[in-house]
Structure 1
Amino acid sequence: MQRLLPAPTYLKRLTPRAFAQLAALALSVALLPLSPAQAALAKSAPGSTAPLTLQACIERALDKNFGLAIQRFDAANALESLTIARADYDPALTLTTGRSASQADNADTSLVGTRNDNFSTRLGVSQKIPTGATLSLSQSLNRRGTNNAFALMNPAYTADLSLSVSQPLLRGAGSRVALASIRRAELGTEIASLNTTARILQVVRDTEAAYYSLVYARESLKVRNQSLDLAQRLLAENTTRLGTGVATNLDVLQAEVGVENARRSVLLAEQTVRDAEDRLLNLIGQFEFDEALGEVSLPPTATFSPDYAISYALALKQQPEYRAATESIKQLQIDLSTARRNRLPSLDLNAAGGYNTRDASLNRAYNRLPDGDGYSWQLDLALRFPWGLRAERARYNTALNTLRREETRLRQIEQNLALDVRSAVRSVETNLASVSISRKATELSTRQYELERARFDAGLSTSRRVLEAQDDLESARVAELQAQVNLRTAMAELNRIDGTSLALYNIAQ
């Protein structure tokens, strides 16, 4: 609260007529219409709109921020990629059907124009299993009709039921290789989730900074308006004193220049307020720049001493970029394991067996399948050995180099994280001290201004010195406000780095 200034001593020496002129001038100044700056200040005064809290801004940003919405699409795509990888082990149904006909003369017999009419249908199901093998079960039905009078069965139905398996024994064998794509996709969803968390932390930090900037801009506007009011009061007093012969034209001119300088500062402060409002609305809304933002204020800060060891330990545990890098290394380890296995030649075991029947009746052809005399089986090994396996070894070396590169990059991220934490902790410590210093500086400037104003009222100082003291007071107030904002911005950055912003604002994952 601003202290009351002592009554000007020269008022005691004014004549009744001069005192009436001064009262009339003060009344006319009070009845002047509000300046644009004062109107803007009145518009943002408490009660005009509902207060806008930092928590509400963060909740809106998490709901409407464009960058976060884009990142959520990436997370959704990662889940779809996992579904695609798992779908590789879904059963696959196959159905083929067809019809063919042929007619030809047989020169070795007396048959002329032998015609065959064929119809075939095959239904099958195949399934991959985690060992890398593929199982297939199929059943087929063929119908063959002919105009050959010597055919024993016309039409003839052929049915078969078969089961086959193909199992890699060297390259591509084992559940680690077979399930590599699924495990990699699972890690991909975790990385996408961590990237979303990182984006949330950044949005929270940016929203905090934008909110604090708006508080600073509006409070600075209030300070500028107070300075303008003081400058106008000084001009009014000097004008009155000039009429009574107490002041000179130079005093009035200095006061007029002070008013204009203060008005210019107000105009610049108004622009800063509008820019700060737009920056905040850009983070918490979508094309809502015409929305009137309510009263904002700096939230209280808890008294604490930042600790590097604690913040660094939290960062290693919770920092999304660091955790995402560790998950990426796990993916590369899977790639390396697959590449190591694939250095071997291909050796596949293929086995198949089944029953088949042939009959003139469709029902009998099917019914005789389990216990008919027709059967078949097959067992074979297929070996493929590229000469020298140069490509496979090169792929393995590439995977190994990529893994080592990312492990080195992880160490770099860890070191940069340590640097960021050290810098953020120092920033908080520095701004804590700066707040205390700026508060004392404001108290000193206030007392100096009051003293200079009292000397001016006693005729022992000039308008120039009063304006200089007023400028010093304004600068001190703005500097103290800036220190308060800088402290909260530094704390927001530290909370982003160590990941504690999520718990601070109750953000569920």
Structure 2
Amino acid sequence: MRWRTPRPTDERNLPQAARHVLLSGVLRGDPEAGLDGGRVKMFSRSVPGALLVGVLVGLLPVRSVEGFGTSDGRTPTPTAKAVRDEVAATSEGPARAPAAMSDEEAQSIVRALGAMRSKGGHTPEPGQLVLTLEESIQLTLQKNPNIQIAQLTRDGRRPEVARAETLFHPVAGGTLAGSRTGEKDVGFKKDDELIDGQRVADEGARKPTAFISQTVPTGATLLVSGDMRRRETVGSDIGNVDTNYSVSVVQPLLRGGRIYVATRAIRDAEYDLRMEEARLRAEILAATARTKAAYYNVLLAERVADMTGQAAAQHAAPLDASRGLCRPGVVPDRDVRGARIIQADDEARLATAKGDLELAENALTDCLGVRIGTPVVLRDDRIDFEPVSLDLDRWLAAAVERRPEIVAAKEALEKSTLHVRVAENTILPQLNLVAAYGKGETGTTLGNALNFQGDVWTTGLVFSVPIGNGAARTTLAQAKIEHDRVEQELAQTERGVELQVRATMIKLRTDLERIRARAAEMEQSKGKLEQAEARFARGSGSSLDVTGARDKLLAAKTDLLKSVVDYDVGLAELEAVLGGPI
């Protein structure tokens, strides 16, 4: 294919490489690359070299990355050799865990994150919510709807404990009774006719009684009572007064005669309360992790939006300069279209970054429990990176001990165990010990009746056996089935927690590997940008090369930030998975 050399006096007929050299010289302010008299001189030195470089680059064969075939300039396609090598490596045995990140690597990443920090903070405006991370967590604990629902549910269980405890509160009472009876003489027979006896006397009685009853945790019932009865005969001036008091106890020895049976209602209420408290702790841990993740995501979105805006401004500066320095009609239409495409891409990326920022702020306000859409300003504008050592055994032990879901499941298991024991007690026969002691007196006056000279005591056993007792045995069978079900739920909960711990550890390990790779990629992108800028300064490169290098560096920085934020989110999730601090 022949190349026809264009006339050096018409820039529109120059090849692409020569036009880029022209534009680079104009933007550098090279006096020999002016638009008037120096233009021909600049062409005479730069055009032949640029043409030669372009032809040689076009004739070079495309080399694939080692182990990969290249189908395009973006995604490497694995070759057969790469697949065979990976299968062979996999068949040799499980891959070893990656080495821990060194302090030098961590400090290098921290310095890179500090270099990407926003130059100036946001000035709070009236109506904006200014928060640090700790303040965000405190606000979440106060206003998050899920936490408030869990708190109200927990608070609703507390009165049930107090209500169950009223079973052992003493009960006081009294009665007042009155009666009247009449007596007749014995009837007689007269002239073969039965004559009824005559009514000779009426007797009236009034009896007030006071008592106090107390149920004790052994299942026994204690009763203390006292009464006074006054009897009077109508038409007689003499009446009798009977007074007495007594103490009686009924103690079950078999059925119902155990402390755990008598206190079942209280213990059930306490179990329910502790389970709700565990659920509240679980909700607090989850809400705290979600708040940290939302806070980090807002920081990430703000940083990406700032870097995207700065990159768009850097791209716009040379393009605007080229438009201002080149006369109308000098820059070809293809270059104009390329500049417009770059500007459109910048605008699209900036719009996407702003949309992501708004979505992240909405998610944060949802976690905080404030009105969704409330403007938020973050005081902590630094993205931290502090790698932790991976200790699976210690994390599993801590999760089993502290995880609220496991605590709640263990409380439910203890509650079902209590129900089984109570149900086993209900199939026993009834055997009650009954004992009573009292003193009394009878006198014609109240004073004489209060001497309590007489006493009486009784004791005995009451025994009964239900015939069949099918209902109690059915209840026992149901309680055992429920206990087995709760045991399986506890085992499943523990397995689920272990899976979460392992998955979180894998995520953290993967994030560390990704951070290390992204940091290396960012350093490579910096070197390529420096090379592109150097070539641009020498006149052997174009502004589009610089723009492409800057885009790749921006993508590398964004990927590094996302990887670090993913790692920080993983640490927050790990605290929720472990049920407390790492």
> Structure 2-normalised TM-score?
0.72
Q: Match of 1:234?
A: 318
Matches within 5 A, 1:200-215: 200-215=284-299
Say if 1:479 and 1:403 are closer, same or farther in 2 by CA, change over 3 A. same
Say if 1:239 and 1:457 are closer, same or farther in 2 by CA, change over 3 A. farther
Say if 1:121 and 1:301 are closer, same or farther in 2 by CA, change over 3 A. farther
- For residue 108 of structure 1, the aligned residue among 172, 197, 201 is 197
Matches within 5 A, 1:238-257: 238-243=322-327, 247-257=331-341
| Structure 2: unaligned runs, 5 residues or longer | 1-23, 38-117, 185-195
Deviation at 1:214, TM superposition (A): 0.8
Q: Match of 2:302?
A: 218
Deviation at 1:173, TM superposition (A): 0.9
Deviation at 1:305, TM superposition (A): 2.1
> Which deviates more, 406-415 or 378-387?
378-387
Give the distance between the partners of 1:291 and 1:158, measured in 2 at CA. Answer: 84
1:231–1:259 contact (8 Å) kept in structure 2: yes
1:228–1:262 contact (8 Å) kept in structure 2: yes
2:309–2:350 contact (8 Å) kept in structure 1: yes
Q: Match of 1:52?
A: 131
Give the distance between the partners of 2:328 and 2:527, measured in 1 at CA. Answer: 29
Deviation at 1:338, TM superposition (A): 1.2
Secondary structure of the residue aligned to 2:564 is helix
Q: Match of 2:142?
A: 63
Q: Match of 2:364?
A: 280
Give me the CA root mean square deviation: 3.3
Structure 2 counterpart of 1:162, which letter? S
How many residue pairs end up in the alignment?
A: 466
Give the distance between the partners of 1:159 and 1:236, measured in 2 at CA. Answer: 115
Query: What per-residue deviation string (whole Å, max 9, x for no partner) do you get for residues 169-204 of structure 1?
Result: 211112232233333433333333322222221111
| Structure 1: unaligned runs, 5 residues or longer | 19-40, 505-509
Is 2:160 the partner of 1:160? no
Matches within 5 A, 1:363-402: 363-365=447-449, 367-368=450-451, 370-371=452-453, 373=454, 375-402=455-482
Query: What per-residue deviation string (whole Å, max 9, x for no partner) do you get for residues 311-368 of structure 1?
Result: 1111112112112212221121111111112111222233333233344433443x22
| Percentage of pairs with the same residue | 24
Deviation at 1:467, TM superposition (A): 4.4
- For residue 74 of structure 1, the aligned residue among 122, 128, 153 is 153
1:171–1:344 contact (8 Å) kept in structure 2: yes
Give the distance between the partners of 1:356 and 1:72, measured in 2 at CA. Answer: 57
Deviation at 1:284, TM superposition (A): 2.3
Give the distance between the partners of 2:326 and 2:448, measured in 1 at CA. Answer: 128
Is 2:484 the partner of 1:404? yes
Deviation at 1:14, TM superposition (A): 5.6
Q: Match of 2:69?
A: none
Give the distance between the partners of 1:263 and 1:472, measured in 2 at CA. Answer: 17
Matches within 5 A, 1:83-232: 83-97=162-176, 100=178, 108-111=197-200, 116=204, 119-143=206-230, 148-150=234-236, 152-153=238-239, 156-232=240-316
Deviation at 1:75, TM superposition (A): 2.7
Structure 1 counterpart of 2:570, which letter? A
Q: Match of 1:9?
A: 28
Is 2:437 the partner of 1:353? yes
Give the distance between the partners of 1:68 and 1:329, measured in 2 at CA. Answer: 25
1:251–1:463 contact (8 Å) kept in structure 2: no
Structure 1 counterpart of 2:170, which letter? P
Q: Match of 1:32?
A: none
1:277–1:293 contact (8 Å) kept in structure 2: no
Say if 1:302 and 1:472 are closer, same or farther in 2 by CA, change over 3 A. closer
Query: What per-residue deviation string (whole Å, max 9, x for no partner) do you get for residues 236-275 of structure 1?
Result: 0231243277632332332223223322322232222222
Deviation at 1:211, TM superposition (A): 0.8
Say if 1:225 and 1:77 are closer, same or farther in 2 by CA, change over 3 A. same
- For residue 392 of structure 2, the aligned residue among 308, 320, 325 is 308
Say if 1:143 and 1:230 are closer, same or farther in 2 by CA, change over 3 A. farther
> Which deviates more, 160-169 or 62-71?
62-71
Give the distance between the partners of 2:394 and 2:230, measured in 1 at CA. Answer: 79
Structure 1 counterpart of 2:198, which letter? T
